[in-house]
């Protein structure tokens, strides 16, 4: 693969992940009824859920900016790890969180060869 193809692939995956995490954070910050119902089933109150949305947005911004991309990657990996554990504790399916975790790592390895 040429450098140009690798760069385009990395940024395409970054945009896809960015849209997914933005939608997720938006649902938390706007207090979406479906998201709040799931959060309350996990025992998470609305204030904490909004705070999680803010952390998600900050981590995403750090991931998108090339200079802070590795830090953002690590924060999003930790975020998804927490999501996986929370879903496991409450006997919820973890497939989507695992898929996004893998996609995040693949994107990070493409964008940041030093990893």
C-alpha to C-alpha distance for 95 and 44, rounded to whole angstroms: 21
pTM for the model stands at: 0.91
Average the pLDDT over 24-39 and give the result: 89
C-alpha to C-alpha distance for 31 and 53, rounded to whole angstroms: 10
CB atoms within 10 A of CB 53: 19
Q: What is the pLDDT of residues 79-98, one digit of tens each?
A: 999 999 999 999 999 999 99
C-alpha to C-alpha distance for 49 and 41, rounded to whole angstroms: 12
């Amino acid at each position: 693969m040429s450098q140009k193809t690798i760069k385009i692939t990395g940024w395409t995956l970054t945009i896809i992940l960015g849209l997914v995490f933005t939608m997720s954070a938006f649902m938390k910050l706007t207090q979406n009824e479906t998201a709040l119902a799931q959060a309350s089933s996990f025992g998470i109150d609305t204030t904490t859920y909004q705070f999680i949305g803010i952390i998600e947005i900050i981590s995403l911004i750090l991931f998108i900016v090339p200079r802070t991309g590795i830090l953002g990657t690590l924060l999003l990996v930790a975020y998804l790890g927490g999501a996986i554990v929370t879903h496991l504790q409450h006997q919820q399916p973890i497939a989507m969180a695992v898929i996004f975790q893998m996609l995040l790592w693949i994107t990070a390895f493409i964008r940041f060869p030093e990893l």
